[in-house]
Structure 1
């Protein structure tokens, strides 16, 4: 059974049985999300090469996806506990090297939705978290979506499509890449709706290769950052991330 939040202008549906993911987000009558919705990535976001994570000299083997790497954490396809009408929690541990609790909170705004994802394992061990929305390329009316954003750097990918650990100048799309971004990415569906995407982190993964969807994903660190010091934070690894989707009222 899904939970529904509704303030008249914005309606959000959440499925606690599938990672407490958003299954629907409607703004001004337009459904923004594809059937996969928007799911949490915790306690790691994106891919980890070969699913192997070394911490304190011990290598841990994480579950592998079909491409032979670990992907998108442990929480996206499992049931989360409902804390209240807009908050959810999930305990996670092995095969991840620490045990903790992920929390996910949704908050309707007058023109959009804020999602906050957190991870608490009582340690300062490395972790990365993120949110993975599948936006529709075309809404019920209007033209195909146009993505505008201002990348200052791009994470270089090797021949295996995973990060090399270097930052390079951004290239033109199509993309399945991680960027450091200045400001807020904007999605504009001509003739329908424009939304601004904002986050507490400057890291965004953009995946615009599918014919029907576009993903613009905030992450606390790039994919596979655990293996690459240049992609890691200067201090503690962030354990909380907020992500806001807001309608731009003056959209053309």
Structure 2
């Protein structure tokens, strides 16, 4: 591989490989994973929903296999919050959604800092004076270390506050899984955040999906209309395709203490099971940090979090 991977064509995908396993990365499309699959003579077996040529050409992060959520994740009500006595207004940052959504990293190109056959390090340096269109007023640097081994794909995300004042943060990743009539999701969770139609959180409580997720059969994504945060999860979830005799297990470390399931009835091909550090609109919720997640980095302080995706076949 080239000594300087940034000399490649700006819209080129990066390929990581370990045996038959492959990961395609799109640094120029929000530092996203474009595909994760096994390459066989009979064809490709995809573990995440792959980006299509059309979504790659359009540079649409929402069409990727997974993309990073940083320096905040989920929604922020009306794109505004008060922090450390100051009003932070994100309404002009180019986000076309009604509420600020998922930070700005997924809408910016990332740099390739290192690349080997089975590992890549992507970084993003945000300086408010240079990124005025993205309105997050705190300088920071984010990184993703993406690695393949014989068992798993591991993504380690890190974030460092480069500003001279404390910075609130949230972090996560947004994987899309293949969704079929036979797909089932398994996880153990304590409660689900119910939402307004927006959707923004109203309260945490019981929901039939909780029992379905814990059942031996698992939860069908078709059973409920979900775009919800789940709390008290064991930081592991499995997506199973019984008719295809295969599954993939997501395992996350702290502070990925919350899980989002996105299985909208209006878009029956979409299924996301996301490791995240906080519930939606955490920064505007008057709750103790353990209930809502999120965090604050002091000037110069760093944090990191990892998750793995481990495929299995019968």
Compute the TM-score of the two structures, normalised by the length of structure 2.
0.72
Residue matched to 1:70: 100
Other-structure match for 1:107? 147
Gap change, CA 1:54 and 1:245, over 3 Å in 2: same
User: What is the CA distance between 1:248 and its match in structure 2?
Assistant: 3.0
Match of 1:128 in 2: 170
Q: CA–CA distance in 1 between the matches of 2:144 and 2:75?
A: 21
Alignment of 1:221-232 (within 5 A): 221-230=278-287, 232=289
Rounded Cα–Cα distance in structure 2 between residues aligned with 1:231 and 1:243? 25
- Pair 1:67–1:153, CA change in 2 (3 A): same
Deviates more, 1:234-243 or 1:106-115: 234-243
Contact 2:173 2:274 in 1 (8 A): yes
Q: How many residues align?
A: 245
Offset at 1:134? 1.3
* Residue 27 of structure 1, CA deviation: 3.7
Match for residue 196 of structure 2? 158
Could you report, residue by residue, the CA deviation over 1:149-189 in whole angstroms, capped at 9, with x for unpaired residues? 1111212313542013x321234333110002125110011
CA distance in 2, matches of 1:79, 1:160: 28
* 1:185/1:197 contact within 8 Å kept: yes
Structure 2 gaps, min length 5: 1-11, 52-63, 129-134, 210-223, 298-302
Deviations 1:186-212 (A, max 9, x none): 001122421111111221100011311
Per-residue Cα deviation, 1:208-247 (whole angstroms, up to 9, x for no partner)? 1131121001111111111114263489548322121002
Write out aligned runs for 1:1-252 (5 A). Answer: 1-27=12-38, 29-34=44-49, 35=51, 36-62=64-90, 63=93, 65-85=95-115, 86-94=120-128, 95-122=135-162, 124-138=166-180, 144-164=182-202, 166-172=203-209, 173-180=224-231, 181-190=233-242, 191-200=244-253, 201-209=256-264, 210-230=267-287, 232-233=289-290, 236-237=295-296, 239-249=303-313, 251=314
Given that 1:226 and 1:232 are in contact with CA atoms closer than 8 Å, whether structure 2 keeps it comes out as no
Task: Classify 1:241/1:183 alpha carbon distance in 2 versus 1 (closer, same or farther; 3 Å).
Answer: closer
Larger Rg: 2
Using the TM superposition, give the Cα deviation of residue 92 of structure 1 relative to its aligned residue in structure 2, in angstroms: 1.7
Comparing both structures, which one devotes a greater share of its residues to strand?
1
Give a deviation string over 1:91-127, Cα, whole Å, max 9, x none.
Answer: 1243113111010110112122011111111464321
RMSD between superposed Cα atoms in Å: 2.2
Runs (4 or more) in structure 1 with deviation over 3 Å come to 64-67, 233-239
| Deviations, residues 67-107 of structure 1 (Å, cap 9, x unaligned) | 41111111112111111010011012431131110101101
